[in-house]
Amino acid sequence: MPVIITTVAALRAACSAARSEGRSVGLVPTMGYLHDGHRSLMRAARAECDFVVTTIFVNPLQFGPTEDLDRYPRDLEGDIAACRDEGVDAVFAPTVLELYPQYPPATTVHVAGLTDALCGSSRPGHFDGVTTIVAKLFSIAGPCRAYFGRKDAQQLAVITRMAADLDLAVDVIGCPLVREHDGLARSSRNAYLDPHQREVAPAIFAALRAGVDAVRAGARSARALEAIVTERLAAHPELRVEYAEVRDAATIAPIERLEGQVLLAVAVFCGSTRLIDNVALRVSGESVDADLGIGWNS
């Protein structure tokens, strides 16, 4: 059974004690309501690190005033059971007051450029909330390896840049996107979908696959690829497209032609539930490699 830690001082002491014994620390930051995607992160940390910490904290700083903070799904008892099953050593489950003695905090972390587009366009301040809480967790845990899923590709790029720019003693590890058997990306927000919406939602992945097929057939225009994905999504009246964009995978900068490491990313409302998904592409001349994620029936 993992030890349950609720204070900053206790987590810092536990991680320091592990390192003093020559043990490596693995950190898996989450907002809880753990699913197989989170479990895959814990397994990766367990395979590579001696002392594994999963953090469970619904961070209010990354929610906008009209977003779903109050109804965000929570199940601490189930989360602890999942951590136990995956061999996690410690669960850090602090209160908001513990991490933000004064709220909102006077100090936040901002990564310029990478946070302006995609999810940053419609969710102002969201990534400042993400980077602030992750920077705090990195500071508390100390030198470690930290594991994040590639479903949140922009978030992963932002956190990687933050850690590099601030010379943080953390190796940021990106782990594969995990899908349901029908292709829907695993997400805590999938719990919001009613049965009909759940049947429709896999169309998001189908649209991304149509885009990948077009690239494999020779398409290299970013705008044309965006149009293909948008058209496929628009065929479903239950879906409302917020964005379908092609970006440089590392910098999240816009591109005109597909070459090198490319991100094809979407944000789609299924009913009132906002879902994000992406595929990573590596394009070199006629060669195309696509990372479609794992777990689905290919």
Residue 181 near residue 295, CB atoms below 8 Å: yes
Question: Could you give the CA distance from residue 293 to residue 150 in angstroms, rounded to a whole number?
Answer: 9
Given the residues 38, 181, 196, 236, the one annotated as active site: 38
For the question of residue 110 being annotated catalytic, the response is no
Detail the DSSP E strand segments found in the chain.
3-5, 25-30, 51-56, 90-92, 144-149, 170-175, 239-248, 260-270, 273-284, 287-291
DSSP state of 102: S
Question: Could you give the CA distance from residue 185 to residue 188 in angstroms, rounded to a whole number?
Answer: 10
φ, ψ dihedrals at 4, nearest 5°: -100, 120
Beta strands across the sheet bearing 260-270: 239-248, 260-270, 273-284, 287-291
Structure tokens at 110: 């901002």
Question: Could you give the CA distance from residue 244 to residue 278 in angstroms, rounded to a whole number?
Answer: 9
Structure tokens at 228: 């293909």
Kindly report the number of other CB atoms within 10 A of residue 159's CB atom.
26
Is there a cis peptide before residue 104, judged by omega within 30 degrees of 0?
Answer: yes
What's at 263, amino acid-wise?
L
Structure tokens at 195: 């049965």
Looking at the annotation, which residues are catalytic?
38
